[in-house]
Structure 1
Amino acid sequence: MPIVDEEPVPPPPGRAARVADLALRVAGGVVVVVAAVLTVVLELLLSAVRVGGYLIGVSALIAIGANIALSWFAHETVGTRWAVVLPALPWFAIMSVAAVRTDEGDLLLAGDNWVGLAMIVTGAMTFAVMGFRQILAPPAPPR
């Protein structure tokens, strides 16, 4: 006779609970993609900020902080290790488009100054580190 009573095993979730969980995960993925688009636009807008005529590079710092937050949020809401790809893909796509000069001569992200290069490197490295951390992390306990 055991000293401690065994805890009852909860019943498996029903179909409605599984559908609701899937809907929340998809919604979280959509929110992450939209947030990534918004943050990359903000970073591009702030890449030319100057104080006293000198570039200050605030967009590189925002790229680091925003990409860490987006990667964490993607993993928490979607619940898979590959979720870091959701914010990384639109970020890289928009950065690639922003670095190409249009026929009219417009250029959003210049590669000839330190801010543009720093923003690309810090943003890419942040996503790489966050993705690598997810690969090395032990499996999460079932929810």
Structure 2
Amino acid sequence: MTVSEAPGQQVEATPAAGRPVWDVALRSAGVLISVVATVVTTLLEVELSVLRVGGVTGLFHGDAAIWTGGGALTGLAVPLTVGANLGLAWLAVTTIGRSWGIGVPWALWTLLMLGAAGTRTAEGDYLLGGDNWVALVMILAGSLSFAFYAYKMIMKPIKQG
């Protein structure tokens, strides 16, 4: 259906909402997918922030529980966090189809990390303690990953034409 806007011009009419129903459904599914992916990767990052060298070497000796080992922290969570958060940012922007989509995983990831840093276990320990350098670097690097992706989106040249 076309509507005459001015003499000699035809403009496509849109529904009252402005967007087709399937478009809203796909964007909503994109938000849901990015929320689930953010929760899963954040939980994995929190778990890996306490991984120690003794736990990793225990795998090679047949120990099933990698969280019981001692020694120095591995720091594996930091590069995993950077890669996962860049992937989450891309996933959110791609599936939602809008540049504001990066805010969904960024805000959720930040809230989950701040919640983990302020939550005590049944034994009285913090999930992400202040004496755990991996957790502190992970929080910084993870947030900077989202900021880097947002900056990259801002600096993208405008398409001509």
TM-score w.r.t. structure 1 length? 0.80
Structure 2: runs of 5 or more not aligned: 1-11, 55-70
Count of matched residue pairs = 130
Q: Which residue of 2 aligns with 1:92?
A: 110
Indicate the RMSD between aligned Cα atoms, in angstroms: 2.3
Deviation, structure 1 residue 60: 0.9
Q: Which stretch has the larger CA shift, 129-138 or 102-111?
A: 102-111
Q: Which residue of 2 aligns with 1:133?
A: 152
Structure 1: runs of 5 or more not aligned: 1-11
Percent sequence identity is: 41
Structure 2 CA distance for aligned equivalents of residues 95 and 34 of structure 1: 15
Structure 1 CA distance for aligned equivalents of residues 108 and 157 of structure 2: 27
Q: Which residue of 1 aligns with 2:89?
A: 71
Structure 2 CA distance for aligned equivalents of residues 77 and 140 of structure 1: 21
1:106 to 125, 129, 151: 125
Q: Which residue of 2 aligns with 1:83?
A: 101
Q: Which residue of 1 aligns with 2:68?
A: none
Q: Secondary structure at the match of 1:32?
A: helix
Deviation, structure 1 residue 131: 1.2
Deviation, structure 1 residue 24: 0.7
Q: Which residue identity lines up with residue 121 of structure 1 in the other structure? A: L
Structure 1 CA distance for aligned equivalents of residues 85 and 154 of structure 2: 17
On the 8 A contact 1:71/1:87 being kept in 2, the answer is yes
Q: Which residue of 2 aligns with 1:62?
A: 80
TM-score w.r.t. structure 2 length? 0.72
Q: Which residue identity lines up with residue 23 of structure 1 in the other structure? A: A
Q: Which stretch has the larger CA shift, 25-34 or 106-115?
A: 106-115
On the 8 A contact 1:33/1:87 being kept in 2, the answer is yes
Deviation, structure 1 residue 101: 4.4
Deviation, structure 1 residue 14: 7.8
On the 8 A contact 1:82/1:131 being kept in 2, the answer is no
Higher gyration radius (CA): 2
Q: Which residue of 2 aligns with 1:32?
A: 34
Q: Which residue of 1 aligns with 2:135?
A: 116
Q: Secondary structure at the match of 1:54?
A: coil
On the 8 A contact 1:43/1:63 being kept in 2, the answer is yes
Structure 1 CA distance for aligned equivalents of residues 159 and 33 of structure 2: 22
Q: Deviations over 1:79-117 (max 9, x none)?
A: 111111111111000110111143852311112222011
Structure 2 CA distance for aligned equivalents of residues 128 and 47 of structure 1: 21
Q: Which residue identity lines up with residue 81 of structure 1 in the other structure? A: S
